[in-house]
Amino acid sequence: MYAGSMRLELLMRGVGSLKEKRHVVTSLISHLDRKLHVGVAEIDHQDKWQRAAIGVAAVAPQAGQLDRILVAVRKAVEARPDVEILEYSISHLEHEQ
């Protein structure tokens, strides 16, 4: 089993309130959950209008599959016109039986 996590620091330029930000973040989280079947949560910057950090968790039977999932997450976020990735990091956990 291979598990990985990704932290994405995001910028939302057109957002003018926490309510607008919440809509963008909620929409993004829902999209990643539905499309890629990963665990996603907002993990930082809850009090800032144009910043957010989300954490993504995924599990796969092979390391290559896990890497493909995490790359797909990054690409899905990059494809959104309302969100810019400022920074991202990936952590891996390998469990051998």
| pLDDT tens readout for residues 40-81 | 999 999 999 999 999 999 999 999 999 999 999 999 999 999
Local structure of residue 10 (DSSP, 8 states)? E
Q: Whole-model pTM? A: 0.90
Residue 4 β-bridge partners: 58, 92
| pLDDT tens readout for residues 18-32 | 999 999 999 999 999
37: left (phi over 0), alpha (psi -120 to 50) or beta: left
For the chain, counts of helices (H) and of strands (E): 2, 4
* CATH 3.30.70.1120, applies to 2-94: yes
Q: Is the pLDDT of residue 93 over 90?
A: no
| pLDDT at residue number 96 | 64
